[in-house]
Structure 1
Amino acid sequence: MAKSEVGESIRFIGRMVRPHWPVFTVAVLGGAVFAAGAVMSAMILGRLVDDVILPVFEQGEDISSSSLAGWAAVLLSVVVIRIIGVVARRYFAGMTAERVSRGFRRDLAHAYVRLPMSFYRRRSSGDLLAHVDTDSDTVTEVLHPLPFAFAALFMAIFAAIAMFLVDPLLALLAFAIFPISIVLNRVYTQRVSVPATQQQASVGKVAAVAHESFDGALVVKLLGREQAETARFNAEAEELRQHRVRVGTLRAIFESTLNAVPSLGIVLVILIGAWRVESGAATVGGLIAISALFATLSLPLRILGYFLQNVPIARAASARLHSVLDEPFAEPGAGQMLTDADADLRFEHVILGFGDQVIIDDVDLEVRAGETVALVGATGSGKSTLVSALAGLLEPLGGRITFGGIPIDDLDPAVRTDAIRIAFQEAFLFGDTIDANVGLERNGIERCEIDGAIATAGATGFVTALPDNTSTVVGERGMTLSGGQRQRVALARALAGQPRLVVLDDATSAVDAAIERQILDALRDSEHAPSMLIVAHRLSTIRLADRVVFVKAGRIAGRGTHEELLANPDYLALATAYEEAEAERV
């Protein structure tokens, strides 16, 4: 590992461990206790050979029961010390790793619900899921052996002191092999960094393809794309396999080579030590103690190697996590409150687009309090883009949007979401009950408000027919309901809590015209009738509006009632097309 890589690895681990340093410190202390116990065991073994075993064989001395009991008590005490150290190290190391993993997942969830939609347009859902699952686990795998790696350092220090006290020459010989381990680790790190990064990226690709196949299961089956999707998944899975085989091969070579180093050291110690015992320069007990000390070091050295080989992989996973966590996003803060009982919505010279592509160009639009405005235009004219900006999903490139005279970005977030409710054509429901989907656990919402919203949305009939009424769980994305039922539950969610402005982006497209009319009439006749901005494709809906705004190619091409706008040839052509489409459906 180069110096810069060593420094970055230390900082990387330090950033993860710092918030949990008390727990991690206990794990390291457990490793230190184990290390001390291991060194004590080797030293006691050497003393036992020199002071007890050799005199029995060489001089025929008897061993007293009290002496045996004393040595047994000492050895048992050391074993207990080592057990305590192992338990503390493993338990608190695992606790540290799980807390760090939980922290990453919590931070990711925090970021996911606050990042702008522009972020999601360039990232796949499967990749984002891989961050929460695989990457969060991989990045913390390095923490499990970390206290043992510290134990290896403690053990090396304790063992070095003990060895030099027993035989300085054998100690120097034993520790001369450590530079070999350092060189091996540096070579391994340089070789594995790129494959490890490719491996983690490939995990995200596999998750993305799998997620698309699950999410688009209906399309896959309808179009008979089972084999094509299987082939696409197999291709990504094969690429992941190749990356993992490459990383696994490098790890196997590094691990086996590193494991051989202590064995080589023990052989050299025994060979040179036997010569020194024969020449009288060392004792048999001293040679056994040093051999035992070095043998004791072999396991921590292997754990240290396991730790070092996990560092590049963990850093690659961390880089993927921080590609999300380092994305800038605005934290919702306290904003202005609405003061007017009647609040108007205004788009003032608004320009919207994606990158250099302008979709909405210099639009002025007003929805007065209590008014119903229909937004009409051909597909791709920019209607849904206007709604996305109102929902805060798209930042204006120019101009501003105000509600009650206050820019919507300056409104208190809670006030904004309570006052302005939006229902989209794609009705997303959580895998929860009808009650939970409509109420969304909003503070202060009453049972009567949920029931009233369900009734206004025209959903009472089918909801009461469900097995558990409003307590029925609708399944993931509401898949147990029909398209029209999902739309009505989503509409009820938008209506719950008496909003001041309701925006419907083709939110009733899956229900028939009669039910749609009932819903809109119920909205207009309710006690606290909200203002409404409706993206409309049905003449029956358009005729219900107080005013119609005709959008063409990102600009306002006309305003007025439906009858007034029929004088516009483009609007007339669009209205005629709507009428013919409705006639065909009938």
Structure 2
Amino acid sequence: MPDTQPPGGQVTGSAPPGGSAAGDGDRAADRLLAEVLRRSGGWPVVYAVTALAGAVVELMLPSALGRAVDVLVSPGAVAGEALLSCVVLVVTVVACDAVAVLAAGAGGAQAARRLRLRVVRHVLAVGPAMSRRLPAGDLVTRLGSNAEEVGAAPEALITAVALLVPAGGSLVALALIDPWLAVAFTAGMALIGVVLRAFLDQTTAVASGYQQAQSDIASRLFDALAGARTIAAAGTEDLETRRVLRPLPRLRACGLALWRVNARAGVRAAIVVPLLECAVIGVGGLRMAAGELSAGELFAAARYAVLGAGIGSALGYLNRLGRARSAARRVQEVLDRPAPGYGGDRLPVGRAGGRLEFRDVTVRVDGTPVLRDIDLVVPGGAAMAVVGRSGSGKSLLAAVAGRLVDPDQGEVLLDGVPLRRLGREELRRAVGYAFERPVLFGGTLAEAITVGRPPDVARTAARAAAADPFIRRLPRSYGTPVDEAPMSGGERQRVGLARAFAHGGRLLVLDDATSSLDTVTEFQVARALTEELRDRTRVIVAHRAATAARADLVVWLDGGRIRGRGRHDVLWRDPGYRAVFQLDGPPGAERG
């Protein structure tokens, strides 16, 4: 088991959109989009200013072109000044567009980076409770492509708003030219608004299904990569390929649905927009025939109709905004998972520490109790072995002991202080963990062991974990980069044990942390646990009778409850206790 996920957890998918839950999800997604916009730095401001400035200049251009037309059709008029103003406006629009493209790209990248940083920090702060709720592949998708889509939301939102400026300005300009032109324009814009609103709602709903199918494929692929050796050994590549790609028809269906939504909206816009332009030009032609408009004013009116109808091009940006809303809902589900809170209490000093107490502890997974009514006291400095059949809650009890998981009921105390009330740093200095498959951090092996502790601690801890001999044989010894150190599974376990020994000042939690060690090395580690580390309390998830025999206290779990406690030799008289090792232990373990 990796040290990032204690067992006993479950994977639950997010609820499908619909009803009030979908409404709440949309509101939460909109709040996240607004927050991303506020925290995206200065680039969205630059983009907004240039986009709005470009829109305003575009509004000025039809009027300038109209004046130029009137000058050109007037006998003997000089059009130089009018044409120069048009050229200046066109150059300004091009410059604004160029700066806007730069600001949109830089702002989107920065927004996605900050959101990813925030979500990663939150995921790590929540800890194993997050991976119990969402599969690893799904989490990667939410932190990757979904965060990127949310990061693109500021550009889509600003562009959509900027498109309203030409629409609103065109309406005002047409009203100033002739009120009847404004009436025709307003009728057409109302139809376009209906098309855009329906398009945004449909896109958000369909994009949610598409993104969920992507996450399902990513989760299945992640699992397949983790078990690649098993798949190759079993020769089940074809079967596993079909399993990974099983959501592909759903992904295709959602993709086709998204395409159909885009196509329908595009067809409607393609019909409504020309009708709008024709209506304005038709009304303008009638007013010109009646002598109420000049040729230049009719030309300007036609340009304003085209400019205002450009809001129909918002379909593409609304499509991105709809996908961003759906992605934001998925990212917000991660952020909604509460991170554990920490107090400011400190552990008492001046006396032997490590007394561990479980008071009426119950832990539920998906509403079902996995650990129930655990009342237990482990004296300071004692070694407690936790045994039981698979699924009995051994690893979950170990996780609760070091507050990797909080109980749903009851309390865990270390030296009389509830774990919830300890500060984060105080808790991490007091408790050290070692797992079956440790993940090693830090640039070198020494840093992977100390992780912030003084460098001289590395050798002492490595000697206790029987890791010092093989580390010293490496060309760069403790200075060997972690990625360049050729380590077997047992050697990696020993480095993980050394890290736990270097940090667990009062309590050591070992969850199957010696399963890959050979007999001689395991004996050396066991001797260190029972002799050199007696100043600390040790909670050891044990699968071997020999490990339980060396412990001061054995806790026997069955169905999430304590079925027995005491010395190994006393519990061994119970056939049920012996059956734990006969069924789950390695050959010969029952002879303990």
Band the TM-score falls in, shorter-chain normalisation: 0.7 to 0.9
1:104 aligns to 2:115 (yes or no): yes
Question: 1:13 and 1:41, CA in 2 relative to 1: closer, same or farther beyond 3 A?
Answer: same
Paired residue for 1:36?
A: 56
2:455 pairs with 447, 450, 474, which one? Answer: 447
Contact 1:449/1:497, CA 8 A, preserved across alignment? no
TM-score of the two chains, using structure 1 as the length reference: 0.84
Whichever residue aligns with residue 315 of structure 2, its letter is G
**Any conservation in 2 of the 1:539–1:578 contact (CA below 8 Å)?**
no
Quickly say closer, same or farther: Cα 1:374–1:356, change in 2 above 3 A.
Answer: closer
8 Å Cα contact 1:171-1:290 kept in structure 2: no
Q: C-alpha displacement at 1:126, in angstroms?
A: 1.4
Provide, for residues 510-566 of structure 1, a one-character-per-residue CA deviation record: whole Å limited to 9, x for no partner.
111211122233455549953433333445544544x23251523252423x55555
Counterpart pick for 2:501 among 491, 495, 499: 495
- Give the 3 Å change call, closer, same or farther, for CA 267–577 of structure 1 in structure 2: closer
User: What residue number does 2:542 align with?
Assistant: 536
Match of 1:264 among 255, 262, 275: 275
- Structure 2 residue 490 is the aligned partner of structure 1 residue 484: yes
For residues 582 and 280 of structure 2, the distance between their equivalents in structure 1, rounded to whole angstroms, comes to 97
User: Which residues in structure 2 correspond to 1:49-60 (within 5 Å)?
Assistant: 49-51=69-71, 53-55=72-74, 59=75
| Match of residue 218 from structure 2 | 207
Contact 1:474 / 1:481 at 8 angstroms: preserved in 2?
no
Aligned with residue 505 of structure 1, among 511, 536, 549: 511
Decide whether aligned partners of structure 1 residues 583 and 525 sit closer, same or farther in structure 2, where only a CA change above 3 A counts. Answer: closer
Instruction: Indicate how the Cα distance of structure 1 residues 76 and 470 shifts in structure 2: closer, same or farther if over 3 A, else same.
Output: farther
The gaps in structure 1 that reach 5 residues or longer are none
Q: 1:397 to 1:432 in 2, by over 3 A?
A: same
Aligned residues: 563
1:581 Cα offset (Å): 2.4
Match of 1:413 among 424, 427, 432: 424
Q: Calculate percent identity across the aligned residue pairs.
A: 26
Alpha-carbon distance change, 146 to 400 in structure 1, aligned in 2, over 3 angstroms: closer
Q: Does 1:305 align with 2:315?
A: yes
- Corresponding residue for 1:557? 564
- Write the mapping of 1:56-455 to structure 2, written as runs, cut at 5 A: 59=75, 61=76, 63=78, 68=80, 70-115=81-126, 117-299=128-310, 301-354=311-364, 355-369=367-381, 371-396=382-407, 399-430=410-441, 433-440=444-451, 442=452, 445-455=453-463
- Native 8 Å contact 1:34 1:85 kept in 2: yes
Separation of aligned partners in 2, 1:225 and 1:574? 32
Amino acid at match of 1:230: T
For residues 106 and 85 of structure 1, the distance between their equivalents in structure 2, rounded to whole angstroms, comes to 31
Q: In 2 relative to 1, CA 83–516 (structure 1 residues): closer, same or farther, beyond 3 Å?
A: same
How far apart are residue 376 of structure 1 and its match? 4.4
Identify the range of structure 1 (516-525 vs 150-159) with the bigger mean alpha-carbon deviation.
516-525
Secondary structure in 1 matching 2:377: strand
Cα distance in 2 for partners of 1:558, 1:20 equals 57
- Cα drift, residue 27 of structure 1: 3.0
**What is the root-mean-square deviation in Å for CA atoms of aligned residues?**
3.5
Q: Is the 8 A contact 1:352 1:385 kept in 2?
A: no
User: Aligned pair in 2 of structure 1 residues 31, 362: CA closer, same or farther (>3 Å)?
Assistant: closer
Kindly indicate whether the alpha-carbon contact (under 8 Å) linking 1:42 and 1:293 is maintained by their aligned counterparts in 2: yes
The alpha-carbon deviation at position 303 of structure 1 amounts to 3.7
Give how far 1:41 is off.
Answer: 1.8
Report the CA distance between 1:377 and its aligned residue. 4.5
Between stretches 395-404 and 385-394, larger displacement belongs to 395-404
Kindly state the Cα deviation for residue 178 of structure 1 after the two structures are TM-superposed.
0.5
For the 8 Å contact 1:146–1:307, the answer to whether it is kept is yes
Q: Which residue in 2 is equivalent to 1:520?
A: 526
Contact 1:550 1:571 in 2 (8 A): no
Cα drift, residue 62 of structure 1: 7.5
- Aligned partners of 1:277 and 1:138: how far apart in 2? 49
**SS across alignment from 1:114:** helix
Matched with 1:460 is 468
Partner of 2:12: none
CA distance in 2, matches of 1:330, 1:353: 15
Question: What SS does the corresponding residue of 1:357 show, helix, strand or coil?
Answer: strand
Please, what TM-score do these two structures have when normalized by structure 2? Answer: 0.84
Alignment-derived partner of residue 4 in structure 2: none
